[in-house]
Chain A
Amino acid sequence: AQSVTQPDIHITVSEGASLELRCNYSYGATPYLFWYVQSPGQGLQLLLKYFSGDTLVQGIKGFEAEFKRSQSSFNLRKPSVHWSDAAEYFCAVAYSGTYKYIFGTGTRLKVLA
């Protein structure tokens, strides 16, 4: 079955520290990968996406992600976290012909001042 795993439910980092959020997908077909962020009481905002080509993709707010096919991973990174980055982050995958996204369970990020 198609699934997405975000192994870390909660992550706490200090402001200014680097961040890496993990995401793994299960299905072998070519995935289309996304990272979204959700602030409390809000909808989801797209951070970045990977369809093909360069496996390192840049997104908004200084985020980047790297697609590693051999590891079935699409980890999100940021070199220096800001207090405003505190939110919940969702990894999602889509496959050709399905017309839907499959979301991970999310990682809640807390930023210490």
Chain B
Amino acid sequence: KAGVTQTPRYLIKTRGQQVTLSCSPISGHRSVSWYQQTPGQGLQFLFEYFSETQRNKGNFPGRFSGRQFSNSRSEMNVSTLELGDSALYLCASSSGGGNTDTQYFGPGTRLTVL
């Protein structure tokens, strides 16, 4: 089975711009979660989707949003980028049958905001 794929792998944006990141889960997985990883804050939960519904959301401003499509692929969007949004954004998928299902992570998208 192919693993979780994330595109693009690297992005450079400037402050004020917006960005969309994409995640394709493992085939058959219906849950997709997003995490932000920074040296200062570590891994922080952004949101989780299951069957196109957001089931949980972390403590991030409204500039961070996401969605999931009927094929379980997910996108996250960050509007009005700030320097502090520079981070590795990780996507994880799981079967979604239970909230404690094992999450499998993609390689991440490295976002740099200048």
A interface residues (Cβ-Cβ under 8 A, vs B):
32, 34, 36, 41-46, 49, 51, 90, 92, 94, 96-106
Contact = CB atoms under 8 A, between A and B. Distances in A.
Contacts of B55: 99
Interface size class on chain B is 20 to 34
B4 A43 contact: yes
A18 to B, nearest CB: 26
Contacts, number: 57
Nearest to A104: B42
Contacts of B31: 99
A61 to B, nearest CB: 16
A111 B42 CA distance: 22
Secondary structure class of chain B's binding surface, majority of residues: strand
B105 A44 contact: yes
B48 A100 contact: yes
A51 B45 CA distance: 21
A94 B100 CA distance: 6
A103 B92 CA distance: 13
Contact of A102 (B45, B50, B107): B45
B106 interface: yes
Contacts of A42: 107-108
A106 B105 contact: no
